[in-house]
Amino acid sequence: MNFLKALFPKREKWIEFDTLYSIERLEQLRFFMVENHIPYKVRAALLPVPLNAPMPSCAASRSLWYVSVHPEDVHRVEYYLRTERSC
């Protein structure tokens, strides 16, 4: 039984808690999490856009990003996002 636990460790829980629309804000959040030793994951969302639709000039800086952290760190990161000055 212990051998199987060593082979298949318990999956870490991640909570996807916020969506960011700005690369600048995402970078600020990353700096905060690195400084405070908070593990995180970032996932980009693919938005369904027709191929013939013109791309807005700010498309690169206005993407959708999903941020995930461990359950015990959610409140710290949410507090930071509420109190920081947005871009």
Q: Where are the domains of the chain?
A: 12-46+58-83
- Condensed to tens digits (0 to 9), the pLDDT of residues 46-58 reads 655 555 655 555 5
Question: Which CATH number applies to 12-46+58-83?
Answer: 3.30.70
- Do 69 and 16 form a contact (C-beta atoms < 8 A)? no
CA distance 33 to 47: 26
Selection from 57, 52, 67, 53 nearest residue 21 by Cα: 67
- Condensed to tens digits (0 to 9), the pLDDT of residues 16-43 reads 766 776 778 888 888 998 999 988 888 7
With the C-alpha atoms ordered 74, 79, 80, 86, is the resulting torsion angle positive or negative?
Answer: positive
Rounded to two decimals, the pTM is 0.60
